[in-house]
Amino acid sequence: MAVLFVASPALAQEQGGNAVNQSAQAWTLINLSGAFGCGLVVIGAAYGIGRLAGSALESMARQPEVAGNIQVAMIIAAALIEGFTFYALFICSQQNPFAA
């Protein structure tokens, strides 16, 4: 998104350019910002699930008698993280600034 906001004033200042070329550049920046957002979402989800699994395994090693409860809680939390990730990826891939 930052690329889109930074580049928009620069595109607006061009004079006498081809309108089709400017439109193609704008769509390229929009798609680029969506791809950048998708990458950030995936990196964040991978980091979160990695921390979750690491902490759960450490807890199971310290207290093996409650490993079943910890495993169930870990699976539920990982499913919630994955659900949020899919939702965010869908939002990032469906960018259209011209839709009302």
Instruction: Annotate 22-46 with DSSP letters as a single string.
Output: HHHHHHHHHHHHHHHHHHHHHHHHH
pLDDT class for 100, splitting at 50, 70, 90? Answer: very low
Q: Do 85 and 45 form a contact (C-beta atoms < 8 A)?
A: yes
User: Which pLDDT does position 75 carry in this prediction?
Assistant: 95
CB under 8 Å to 25, separation ≥6 — which residues? 11
The token pair that represents 18 in the structure block: 């081809």
Q: Which CATH superfamily is domain 34-94 in?
A: F1F0 ATP synthase subunit C (1.20.20.10)
Q: What is the mean pLDDT of residues 79-84?
A: 94
pLDDT class for 33, splitting at 50, 70, 90? Answer: confident
Q: How far apart are CA 46 and CA 52, in angstroms?
A: 10
Q: Do 64 and 38 form a contact (C-beta atoms < 8 A)?
A: no
Q: What is the pLDDT of residues 41-74, one digit of tens each?
A: 999 999 999 999 999 999 999 999 999 999 999 9
The reported pTM is 0.65
- Per cent of the chain over pLDDT 70 is 69
Where does residue 18 rank: exposed (0-12), middle (13-18), buried (19+ CB within 10 A)? Answer: exposed
